[in-house]
């Protein structure tokens, strides 16, 4: 115990004496956060509307995707605050409580999003690989229960954020908010848990379920070659974006956790690792902008729903301007928007939505 406390004290003292290159990441992060917000906020708003329509039809996958979009939108909502913080040279001008609440929402929703991605993949796996049993397993009450458990567990696990020294901006002369300069035993244990539970296990779930989906789709006689290619590209895109967005950040978390056990580690280690850490944290935000595009807006049936909504809106506006009856036939709508023709519950819809 004494050795552990000495290691913790030395690590914290060493890290506090390090002068980290806070300005190196300023421009790339501001550009990245700006692009992610411009793309992600409207994409998630549209997705919330579309998936809400699916939830009204008792679509289980639609509920998971709705929850994912709400989570991603809350996550993206913290980016302007972080952008202001970075713009001011990594100085937090609000209260310590505001820093902790912003950090809590940011990290909380990152991992809720990751676990909901697992829920989406598992739900697809059940629907495709175990289609005969899926009616009993894929029920709205189970989706609500699973999502509630994910949100509650992740929220409870992130409560230590409110006790961490990294969020004490008012007692810190440099006013840093959750910068990686301070290393304690709590932060180190937190980093280990985030790597194993928040990244490695979800990655394994995504790989296993999507691999099984690809195998079933490849052997299916009911799908055309074009449909199989679409599914393959979608699965590869989901895995690729997960790896690109979350692997660098969690690898660096693991390195930081391991380095805590070396009390005599040089300050150059923290300095060299800071810019990659900061950029990798920025990369993790891209996932929240890409989720609605990969899972909803790229779906053929969802594009038809958007087209249908636009046609109905334009038709109603046109009728009001003409002061005529606000009625249009199904044939007229289909001529304006060919995608309106009902696709039914095809196997493609089952896999792609």
Which CATH number belongs to the domain containing residue 308 in this structure? 1.20.1070.10
Residue numbers of the domain that contains 116 = 20-313
pLDDT higher for 71 or 137? 71
Mean pLDDT estimate for the chain: 78
Give CA–CA dist 238/247, Å, rounded. 13
Indicate whether this model's pTM tops 0.75.
Answer: yes
Give the E-state strand segments of the chain in sequence order.
none
Question: Is the backbone of residue 324 left (phi > 0), alpha (psi -120 to 50) or beta?
Answer: beta
DSSP line for 25-84: THHHHHHHHHHHHHHHHHHHHHHHHHHHHHHHTT-HHHHHHHHHHHHHHHHHHTHHHHHH
Residue 322 lies in a domain: no
How far is CA 24 from its chain centroid? 26
Share of the chain above pLDDT 70, in %: 75
How far apart (Å, rounded) are the C-alpha atoms in residues 282 and 29?
Answer: 6
Lowest mean pLDDT among 115-119, 133-137, 184-188, 287-291: 133-137
Between CA 349 and CA 353 the distance in angstroms is: 6
- Tokens linked to 300: 């053929």
Reply yes or no on whether the pLDDT at 302 is more than 70.
no
Lowest mean pLDDT among 69-73, 98-102, 264-268, 298-302: 298-302
The more confident residue out of 175 and 283 is 283
Q: Per-residue pLDDT for 252 more than 50? A: yes
Cβ contact 68:117 at 8 Å: yes
Residue 13, domain member (yes or no): no
Return the minimum-mean-pLDDT range out of 19-23, 299-303, 341-345. 341-345
- Residues 6 or more apart in contact with residue 150 via CB below 8 angstroms: 112, 115, 116, 119
Domain presence at residue 208: yes
Could you tell me if residue 294 is inside a domain?
Answer: yes
> Is there a domain that residue 333 lies in?
no
Has residue 342 been placed in a domain?
Answer: no
CB count within 10 Å of CB 128 equals 21
pLDDT per residue as tens digits for the range 115-163: 999 999 998 888 888 777 666 778 889 999 999 999 999 999 989 888 8
Residue 1 placed within a domain: no
> How many CB atoms within 10 Å of residue 110?
25
In this prediction, residue 304 carries a pLDDT of 58
Based on the structure, what is the number of domains in the chain?
1
Task: Judge whether residue 2 has pLDDT over 80.
Answer: no
Residue 101 located in a structural domain? yes
Supply the pLDDT for residue 343: 35
Highest mean pLDDT among 81-95, 144-158, 262-276, 299-313: 144-158
Q: What is the pLDDT of residue 6?
A: 44
Measured CA to CA in angstroms, residue 313 lies from 5, 181, 282, 326, 336 at distances of 66, 53, 38, 11, 12
- Residue 5 confidence (pLDDT): 41
How many alpha carbons fall within 13 Å on the CB side of residue 7?
15
């Amino acid at each position: 115990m004494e050795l552990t406390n000495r290691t913790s004290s030395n690590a914290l003292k060493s890290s506090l004496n390090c002068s980290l290159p806070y300005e190196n990441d300023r421009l790339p992060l501001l550009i990245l956060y700006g692009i992610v917000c411009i793309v992600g906020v409207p994409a998630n708003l549209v997705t919330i509307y579309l998936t809400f329509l699916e939830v009204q039809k008792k679509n289980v996958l639609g509920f998971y995707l709705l929850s994912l979009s709400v989570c991603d939108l809350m996550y993206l909502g913290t980016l302007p605050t972080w952008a202001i913080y970075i713009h001011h040279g990594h100085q937090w001008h609000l209260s310590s409580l505001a820093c902790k609440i912003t950090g809590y929402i940011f990290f909380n929703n990152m991992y809720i999003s990751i676990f909901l991605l697992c829920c989406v993949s598992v739900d697809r796996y059940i629907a495709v690989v175990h289609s005969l049993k899926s009616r009993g397993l894929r029920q709205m009450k189970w989706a609500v229960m699973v999502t509630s458990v994910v949100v509650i567990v992740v929220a409870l696990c992130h409560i230590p954020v409110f006790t961490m020294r990294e969020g004490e901006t008012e007692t810190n002369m440099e006013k840093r908010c959750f910068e990686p300069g301070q290393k304690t035993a709590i932060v180190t244990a937190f980093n280990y848990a985030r790597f194993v539970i928040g990244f490695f296990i979800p990655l394994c779930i995504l790989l296993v379920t999507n691999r099984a989906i690809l195998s079933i789709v490849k052997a299916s006689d009911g799908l055309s070659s074009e449909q199989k290619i679409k599914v393959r590209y979608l699965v590869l895109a989901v895995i690729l974006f997960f790896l690109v967005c979350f692997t660098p950040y969690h690898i660096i978390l693991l390195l930081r956790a391991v380095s805590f056990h070396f009390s005599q580690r040089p300050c150059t280690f923290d300095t060299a690792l800071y810019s990659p850490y900061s950029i990798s944290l920025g990369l993790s935000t891209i996932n929240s902008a890409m989720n609605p595009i990969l899972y909803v807006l790229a779906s053929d049936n969802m594009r038809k729903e958007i087209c249908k909504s636009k046609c109905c809106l334009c038709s109603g506006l046109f009728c009001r301007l003409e002061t005529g009856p606000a009625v249009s036939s199904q044939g007229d709508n289909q001529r304006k928007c060919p995608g309106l023709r009902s696709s039914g519950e095809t196997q493609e819809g089952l896999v792609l939505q």
